[in-house]
């Protein structure tokens, strides 16, 4: 048994930081009945994602890693950039975009203004 699972906080609630996520991988063409996915979600208390791959179920941190690897693979296959920025990088990006928008003065409905608004929310 994992020792982390038995730890509790001051309120008596368990201190368990692993994500509540499960990934079920099934062979291509095999459709799991929605009731089966729902049963796994109810029994595990996790968000459940079904991927058409080899058969297995993965939960917690491993499930998050699984989804990230699938996400990166999809970007590679589609030849789409897969950029992940930390908060400091987003702050620098926001400053650069703000500088450009201040000097080019795009209209309120422009793509540039929409982008800078999105980036700003990521830095807050």
Given this model, what pLDDT does residue 71 score?
77
In angstroms, the CA 79 to CA 35 distance is 36
In angstroms, the CA 52 to CA 25 distance is 6
pLDDT in tens, 28-78: 788 888 899 899 889 888 888 887 777 677 778 888 888 888 777 777 766
The conformational region for residue 59 under phi > 0 = left, psi -120 to 50 = alpha, else beta, is beta
In angstroms, the CA 98 to CA 11 distance is 44
In angstroms, the CA 29 to CA 16 distance is 36
Give this prediction's pTM. Answer: 0.41
- DSSP helix/strand/coil, 109: coil
pLDDT in tens, 75-95: 776 677 777 777 888 888 888
In angstroms, the CA 110 to CA 28 distance is 42
């Amino acid at each position: 048994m994992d020792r982390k699972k038995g730890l509790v906080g001051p309120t008596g609630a368990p201190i368990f930081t692993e994500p509540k996520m499960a990934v079920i991988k099934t062979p291509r063409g095999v459709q799991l009945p929605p009731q089966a996915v729902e049963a796994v979600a109810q029994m595990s208390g996790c968000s459940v994602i079904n991927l058409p791959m080899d058969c297995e179920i993965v939960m917690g941190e491993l499930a998050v890693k699984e989804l990230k690897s699938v996400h990166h693979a999809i970007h590679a296959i589609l030849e789409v950039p897969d950029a992940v920025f930390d908060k400091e990088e987003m702050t620098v990006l926001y400053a650069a975009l703000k500088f450009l928008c201040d000097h080019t003065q795009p209209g309120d409905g422009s793509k540039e203004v929409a982008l800078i608004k999105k980036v700003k929310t990521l830095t807050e």
